[in-house]
Chains A and B, each alone.
Chain A
Amino acid sequence: MKRAIVLIAGLCLGGQVLAAPTQQTVLEHYADLAQAMYQDSLTTAKALQEAVGKLIEQPTEKNLGAARTAWKAARVPYQQTEAYRFGNAIVDNWEGKVNAWPLDEGLIDYVGTSYGSESDENPFYSANIIANKMVMVGGEHIDAGKITMDVLASLQEAGGVEANVAIGYHAIEFLLWGQDLHGTGSGAGERPATDFDTRNCTHGNCDRRAAYLKAATDLLVDDLGWMTRQWGKGGEARTTVAGGGDRGLVTILTGMGSLSYGELAGERMKLGLMLHDPEEEHDCFSDNTHFSHYYDAMGIRNVYTGSYVRVDGTKLTGPSIADLVAAKNADADKALRKGLDATLAKMQVLVDSAEKKGVHYDQLIGEGNKEGNAMVMAAIDSLLNQTKLIEKAVTSLDVSPIEFEGSDSLDNPDSISK
């Protein structure tokens, strides 16, 4: 999804900054961490690509399991990068290619009858690209005779409907797991490996399904490679933020605050809780939502404290915006650190519920599950509290005011042209 930001920012850095790193080194290190996180996302996506290759070559349950494990591993570094999304226009304009959600999965493949066959909002609701070489809706023809990266990229947001997600982690997730037909009960998607077996094919079109999975995974690797380069030496993302002067700090805080508040606490958590709707679960096919939320929260903390543990275990640390806040207002820094830790602890509760007790996020938000609802609500409340503490950090730095715009007007500037 494309998004732009409105930053009405002012910085009055007239005061003495004692024993704190310079703003420039903070911004450089912020870019270094981004580069490492995207590099790790790329490395783990390549591992997924390899596992998918094996699955297509030998469609066994074992290889399907290995691909699923690789997908989950790939999500670990990627979710941490989400703290870069809001604030960095280059990331926000790009992220829909890799992490668009939620999706009308009937666009891609077969679905159960409970999915329904049509939607007022989406003419491609059950277009089923895998089963149909030519997709026609209204006057639009899309030739999907051969499933390639280009074809999939052209299907993304078909008909201007955001729920038409043809590519990215969640499209791949759907192909690896299939629909979760358990509602708010226990269990994830149960796609059989034979869905990719051309000799012993289940649910038809196994060759096209395999081609789809391969193309979508290849595209993910390409897209992550592109973003990694943007954070490298001379890359656009790096030069924008590092050369942004005062506004670079606003970028960091905007990324932290907007992910905490409108996106994670709001769209991804509170809405699903209020609707008790399993389809509002971020990783609804794999039931991996607890980890997605957990690593989002960790990414926010990484960015603030300037630290990141890479997938190979190496720990990166360096000058951070926390140091700048602490130099201006030690209490605000302490409170924010505490708030970020508290959120991670609440997310850990959701992780433990899924991993230790087998009670997953979709069950926790189910109607009548008062205990589960309360656990999710506690995490949301912690995110809201953290947002206020980020606002205080903003004030402490005399960066004021922050205003952030996430709107259809900016997503789609053409929509209001005459």
Chain B
Amino acid sequence: MTNPCKLLSIFVALWCLSPVAVLAASPWPTVNRAVVNEHIVPRYQHLVEVTAELEKHSRKFCAAPDENGLADLRAEFQRTMDAWMAIQHVRFGPVELYLRYNRFQLWPDKHNTAERQLSKTLTEQDVSQLADDKFPYASVALQGLSAYERLLFDGDANFNRFLGMEQDSYPCRLLEAIAHNLSRMSADVHHEWIAGTPSYLDIVLDAGHGNSYFQSSDEFSARLLNNLYTSLQFIVDQKLLYPLGASPAEANPRRAESWRSRRSLRNIALNLEAAESLYLTAYSAPLKAADKRNEGLDREIKVTFSRALDAVRDIKLPLYDALQTGPGRQSVEHLLAVTSDLKSLLGGPLPAALGLSLGFNSLDGD
């Protein structure tokens, strides 16, 4: 039985950076500017737009909560999730400040905290907790996309907690508070990237001189590379292996991300597209420029991205259902194998060939 991770664990590569192998001129200052302007900022810009819509639609729905309104709001939620999944891989910068990354989305929730805290909140109905100056300090399990999804979907398609509720019911006010929170955080993150004093972009561009954030341009590129690798690790370990289990009977589909809204695989597809875009914008050209012999590795990474995207698009059932049938599991295991290959390429040969160090990993720990 093949275990790709096991294979990776025995992969120990030795490499030496002799002065001759160092790149003639560092590509990173130019690359960093392009990555911020072409990859990161537009994705946050899009998040700003959709979360503003989500907030607007949440208010509209809560003014008269009916079936049509709910369908409309669920569609807005899906658009918001699409936008978040396209930038979920970036874990540092303004999104890291004030615990924003986890306030956007708490997942996985291995200790079932959201369930406990949400049911307590809905029972207590403390409106003061939802105030603008208080809600951002509440438990992150209540503040973000996962809580919003729990309110809007219950896993059972016919469930509608809002039906028959009066205007301004507590669950609806919580919905509005979350949407407002998401919209405000998105606007702040976007603003801080481009317009703060100094903006995070300024800090990144200045990295070549060394500042309190980065000692060199390489350091930003390396952190982003760490995030690229982590996004694949997140897909393999948590989005796929965690719910998969050893057999259909041992599968735990409720451990899948966004299982309530049945969009687990769509999340993965969007993550992969984002990771591919980051690779192409940031690392493909420097890789080939560093050494002509790297062209093979570049090609292999590109092909593996395509295979992974094909694998996820080929699964027609929601992950929740696919995990529970033989053929469904086969297709999920295929996706797992390809994304594991991709993870290995991004975590081993790529950093070595680029001369960048991945550093420690935020997903370590229990």
Contacts and interface: CB of A to CB of B under 8 A. Distances in A.
A258 B364 contact: yes
B90 to A, nearest CB: 17
Contacts of B351: 8, 401, 403
29 contacts: A6-B8, A7-B12, A8-B11, A8-B12, A8-B13, A86-B364, A116-B116, A120-B112, A262-B364, A267-B365, A274-B99, A274-B102, A274-B139, A275-B113, A275-B139, A275-B141, A279-B111, A280-B111, A400-B17, A401-B351, A402-B359, A403-B347, A406-B361, A406-B363, A408-B241, A409-B5, A415-B245, A417-B246, A418-B333
Given A403-B347, A408-B241, A416-B333, A10 B5 contact: no
Interface stretch (B38-46, B51-59, B232-240, B272-280): B232-240
Listed from nearest, the 3 A-B pairs whose CB atoms lie closest are A262-B364, A401-B357, A267-B365
B348 interface: yes
Contacts of A212: none
A407 B363 contact: yes
Contacts of B138: 276, 367
Interface in B128-147: 137-141
Contact of A120 (B9, B117, B237, B254): B254
A405 interface: yes
A409 B2 CA distance: 12
Given A10-B16, A266-B364, A409-B340, 5 more contacts: A121-B110, A258-B361, A406-B364, A407-B241, A417-B3
B124 interface: no
A405 B116 CA distance: 30
Interface string A256-268: 0110111100111
Interface stretch (A50-58, A318-326, A390-398): A390-398
B96 to A, nearest CB: 10
A5 interface: yes
A197 to B, nearest CB: 33
Contacts of A398: 16-17
B196 to A, nearest CB: 20
Contact of B357 (A116, A267, A402, A416): A402
Which size class do B's interface residues fall under?
35 or more
B139 A277 contact: yes
A313 interface: no
Contacts of B356: 401
B14 interface: yes
B5 A162 contact: no
Contacts of B115: 120
Contacts of B364: 86, 258, 261-263, 266, 404, 406
Interface string A221-251: 0000000000000000000000000010000
B159 interface: no
Interface in A126-166: 160, 162-163
B358 interface: yes
B111 A391 contact: no
A213 interface: no
Contacts of A279: 111, 113
Interface of B: 1, 3-6, 8-9, 11-18, 99, 102-103, 106, 110-113, 115-117, 137-141, 229, 233, 236-238, 241-242, 244-246, 250, 252, 254, 333, 336, 340, 347-348, 351-352, 356-366
Contacts of A280: 111, 113
A9 B5 contact: no
Best-surrounded residue of B3, B4, B333, B340 (most CB of chain A within 10 A)? B3
A101 B366 CA distance: 9
A401 B12 CA distance: 11
A116 B112 CA distance: 12
B244 A257 contact: no
A70 B159 CA distance: 53
Contact of B137 (A121, A367, A406): A367
A372 to B, nearest CB: 12
A417 B237 contact: no
Interface of A: 1, 4-12, 14, 86, 101-102, 116, 119-121, 160, 162-163, 247, 257-258, 260-263, 266-268, 270, 274-277, 279-280, 367-368, 370, 387, 390-391, 394-395, 398, 400-410, 413-418
Given A10-B13, A403-B347, A415-B245, A368 B137 contact: yes
Contacts of B236: 407, 409
A120 B150 CA distance: 15
Contact of A6 (B11, B137, B242, B360): B11
A270 B91 CA distance: 15
A25 to B, nearest CB: 23
A395 B246 CA distance: 40
Contact of B362 (A262, A367, A416): A262
Most A C-beta atoms less than 10 A away, residue of B4, B111, B138, B360: B360
B237 to A, nearest CB: 4
A262 to B, nearest CB: 3
A163 B358 contact: no
A263 B9 contact: no
A274 B140 contact: yes
B12 A416 contact: no
A417 B236 CA distance: 14
Given A120-B254, A262-B361, A10 B1 contact: no
Nearest to B359: A391
B366 A275 contact: no
Nearest to A407: B237
B14 A10 contact: yes
B239 to A, nearest CB: 11
A120 B12 CA distance: 40
B14 to A, nearest CB: 4
B111 A267 contact: no
A409 B348 CA distance: 17
A119 B3 contact: no
Contact of A263 (B1, B15, B250, B366): B366
Contacts of B16: 10, 12, 14, 398
Nearest to B337: A416
Nearest to A96: B366
Contacts of A367: 137-139
A180 to B, nearest CB: 16
A398 B238 CA distance: 32
B362 A266 contact: yes
